[in-house]
Amino acid sequence: MATTLALSGCSGSTDSTVAVSSGPTASAAPTSSAELDAAQFAAALKRPGTTIVDVRTPQEFAQGHLPGAVNADVSAPDFAARIATLDPRAPYAVYCQSGNRSGVAVATMAEQGFTDAYHLGGRIGAWQEAGGEVVTG
């Protein structure tokens, strides 16, 4: 699915656009359930009120995750129950190791009525390769 995001304040340097705390912010929401590249994901997750959700296992999360991300393991038996406690109208930026689990998570969220959830295509490795920061712990 192709998604176009309007970026404000784009500096032209790819590395400066792929960050949680700096770089351009999307001026419009991505299409719900969209798969975004690293630069689009970085811009979209800076929209006000966005929650960054890492749907990998707690062990994978501890090895490195995006700053400010919360961990909600999509393979855990209580995943659907955990996301049911979230505001389905709020924006959610979802990612995983390969892009497969985040796609499943976003689809599950859409089934539960979430209207503003999208995910990082190309995995967390694509984020890192584009210069995106990762923290451990």
CA torsion, ordered 13, 96, 31, 7, to nearest 10 deg: -10
Give SS3 for 90.
coil
**Catalytically annotated residue among 7, 20, 96, 120:** 96
CA angle 70, 13, 6 (to 5 degrees): 65
Cβ contact 120:52 at 8 Å: no
Rounded CA gap, 57 and 105, in Å? 13
Percent of the chain that is helix, strand, coil (3-state, to 5) = 30, 15, 55
Q: Which sign, positive or negative, has the C-alpha torsion 25, 132, 32, 87? A: negative
- Active-site residue, 10 included: no
| Residues tagged active-site | 96
